[in-house]
Structure 1
């Protein structure tokens, strides 16, 4: 979640908003330091600090603070034990802040930094009961005597070739997740009129150029309407050595493509790296939404490991016939 963008949008629309942050964790807790919730005056919210009684109580506190008007920040020191009905066993400090339109100028640099593509560090300290934040130009300056926060998000680039039923389902499945999607199809009118915020639709003109210009850590999914086009895109992607190259298809399709890849001179280990069929082994339902969910889980595994798919038998399922 882009917390500063979300916060300023809610302030602009509703006049005020609260920010709940997991400030410190000792032992076991449902969320990590830096987890956020943004709360509207009516109690609606975005994000989570882990659910359960802890989240319920912090939401109540945020609503009370918003009802009282912009004021000092609260830090709640809470044990995650029997009094909450939670058995995590750890202890957390929760920071709750309120904002209104007077804060928009101070929030603007944070929104601008968050709109970039990288993580950024913020120096924080308490001033007159409220948190003052400065982007990391002052890191190392002892006068701050406060703490650091890390904001922003690193999105893994995903190229999806093909805007058919599975492509559409996959783009929707990836929408709330830390991926940046470049969605490509060579057909006019192939894309829906509305796209998720993390997706960009591109009319495919030159498949090899798209592969050549893709970031090295991109994840590639090939599912076009045309098998020769699939072949060309997949071969180019395998030659580049991306951490994940997935091709929708059956065992028969894979075998045919492998034969052609050998004729093109691709090494055997490169050919073996192809993920086809795509998705988690053992899920065989061919409904587009099911395939999309399975592939999304697989991409999250690859992202978590920072590398290629492991322990996957490529012939355990089929995405088409």
Structure 2
């Protein structure tokens, strides 16, 4: 969890002045963790700090907030009638584009009570920058410290048809994913693309494979079996962390035969996962997207990726 600077920048660009509300400290149980945040503007909001009543009251307060920054404490049981028996401290800050542009792009530390930076805060920042390890979000001696969030996984989605669009809708809100979305032309993409998704129209998509970093996860689901095959071929010639192909067992049997004819060994071909998703959910694009997303995000996959990173 960290300060999602890009999401804040996009919200301010779209809605003007935006108030960011973040959980700064917790005592006892809480519906969300320290660092969980939401963005609030005049007629809407995004993100969540959880808790139902807590979030509703915090959003209403954010819309009428006058001071640039505010610290507030909330006892979840006695004050809000929630099952959680703890208490949370919220930091609410108003941002316009000027304020966003002044933020550090690695670690954001700012005073909530004590204007002069305490020695303890200086130590946290020096250790983080010296060792390259992000500190945990925390309220320390009147200062709120948050590392700027950086996606930890690069995901390339090949294809902007019905399934590709449904998959982007499902996965794009997840902050740990940096999504690159590729198809054969700009007319293949929807008019409105979710924030944080990089759209790449390319007449010859397979030519882009050589430009992909080797730690990328790929989901291949274009409108063309021939293009799917060529992408698989190029990916095996390149390298990748994960490659998943949409299709039936019959399609994959044909692809294995054709990839073998192109010179790929069986152990190489087996690195591609096909079919992806959960066929028992049905063939509706949203159901396919849910199944594929579950496969990509399930804990076993997370553990595999962590092993890859540590290898």
TM-score range, shorter chain: 0.7 to 0.9
User: 1:251: how far off?
Assistant: 0.8
User: Match for residue 276 of structure 1?
Assistant: 274
User: Match for residue 133 of structure 2?
Assistant: none
User: Match for residue 292 of structure 2?
Assistant: 295
In the alignment, is residue 200 of structure 1 matched against residue 186 of structure 2? no
Between Structure 1 and Structure 2, how many residues are aligned?
284
5+ unaligned residues in a row in structure 1: which ranges?
A: 114-119, 309-321
3-state SS of 2:102 partner: helix
3-state SS of 1:299 partner: helix
1:129-153 Cα distance to aligned partner (Å, 9 max, x none)? 899xxxx999239xx9634212233
User: Match for residue 33 of structure 1?
Assistant: 34
3-state SS of 2:8 partner: helix
> In structure 2, how many angstroms separate the alpha carbons of the residues matched to 1:51 and 1:130?
33
User: 1:189: how far off?
Assistant: 4.1
Matches within 5 A, 1:91-130: 91-98=87-94, 105-110=98-103, 113=105, 120-126=106-112
5+ unaligned residues in a row in structure 2: which ranges?
A: 128-139, 306-311
User: 1:49: how far off?
Assistant: 0.4
Q: 1:150 aligns with which of 147, 150, 153?
A: 147
1:173-202 Cα distance to aligned partner (Å, 9 max, x none)? 333333333333336843344433313132
> In structure 2, how many angstroms separate the alpha carbons of the residues matched to 1:164 and 1:53?
39
Matches within 5 A, 1:1-321: 2-5=6-9, 8-9=12-13, 13=16, 16-40=17-41, 42=42, 44-64=44-64, 66=65, 69-70=66-67, 73-76=70-73, 78-81=74-77, 83-98=79-94, 105-110=98-103, 113=105, 120-126=106-112, 139-140=125-126, 146-154=143-151, 156-178=153-175, 179-186=177-184, 189-197=187-195, 198-205=197-204, 207=206, 209-280=207-278, 282-283=280-281, 285-301=282-298, 305=302, 307=304
1:234-291 Cα distance to aligned partner (Å, 9 max, x none)? 13323444232111111111112222333445344433332212213632x1112221
> In structure 2, how many angstroms separate the alpha carbons of the residues matched to 1:81 and 1:162?
48
User: Match for residue 318 of structure 1?
Assistant: none
The two structures, once aligned, show a CA RMSD in angstroms of 3.7
- With the length of structure 1 as denominator, give the TM-score of the two structures: 0.72
1:136-172 Cα distance to aligned partner (Å, 9 max, x none)? 999239xx96342122331632222233332233233
User: 1:45: how far off?
Assistant: 2.4
- With the length of structure 2 as denominator, give the TM-score of the two structures: 0.74
1:162–1:183: 8 Å Cα contact kept in structure 2? yes
1:38–1:45: 8 Å Cα contact kept in structure 2? yes
> In structure 2, how many angstroms separate the alpha carbons of the residues matched to 1:155 and 1:220?
15
3-state SS of 1:201 partner: strand
User: 1:73: how far off?
Assistant: 1.8
